[in-house]
Amino acid sequence: MVDVTRAAAYAADLLVRQHRRIEGLLGEVKSGGARETSFAELVRLMAAHESVEESLVHPAVDRCGAAGAGTRVHEERELLATLSELYELGVDHVEFPGRFGEFADRVAMHMATEEVRELPIFRHAASTLDARRIAAAIELVETFVPQREPVEGETAVVAPPLPLFTRLCDAVDAGLGRG
């Protein structure tokens, strides 16, 4: 049981670490500093994070007996759709700050719900196989989201959120198998 708990705690900690990174990027985009670079990193990170959650985390949480995983998937799909709308709008559009602020609030609420309702159950009831798959998938998709300082004058380039999410889900499924 100790190995199961340790593996699940490690996987859950990786998810929470990504949540904190998403929160930081939301704040950077809202503050308007290096908005384009921060938004590009946010798009990549959210696509990577949500691909692991949809492919592996939520099915594992369901197997642990937690209710509401289907609701989280629905919320994530809505968040990714809104992220796509923001991507199409562009960070320099006059409506971007207001719409992004609403989006950021919804993302924060979604992540808090996962951390309170799902991750405690996952930490105590996940199988070692699920926990190891999730940790490996997080480490895999993080290679698509390098953390680095923006370079002066550099244009941030990123694929649109939904196609990126789909490709990452496919990569997770192909590399680790659907949970």
pLDDT tens, the chain, 179 aa long:
445 578 889 999 999 999 999 999 999 999 987 888 899 889 888 888 888 888 889 889 888 887 777 888 899 889 989 998 999 999 999 999 999 999 999 999 999 999 999 899 889 888 989 999 899 888 887 776 655 555 555 555 555 555 555 666 566 666 655 44
pLDDT of residue 179: 43
158 backbone dihedrals φ, ψ, rounded to 5°: -155, 150
What span, in angstroms and rounded, lies between the C-alpha atoms of 24 and 11?
A: 20
Query: What would the two tokens of residue 161 be?
Result: 């959120």
The pLDDT value given to residue 147: 56
Look at residue 7 in the predicted model and tell me its pLDDT.
87
Question: Measured in Å, how far apart are the chain's first and last C-alpha atoms?
Answer: 20
The tokens for 54 are 């949809």
User: In sequence order, what are the residues at sequence separation of 6 or more whose Cβ sits closer than 8 angstroms to the Cβ of residue 79?
Assistant: 46, 50, 103, 106, 107, 110
Residue 149: CB atoms within 10 A of its CB come to 7
- Position 1 scores a pLDDT of 41
Instruction: Identify the pLDDT of residue 32.
Output: 81
The whole-angstrom separation of Cα 60 and Cα 7 is 13
pTM: 0.83
Tokens of 26: 């939301």
Exposed/middle/buried for residue 76 (C-beta within 10 Å: 0-12, 13-18, 19+): buried
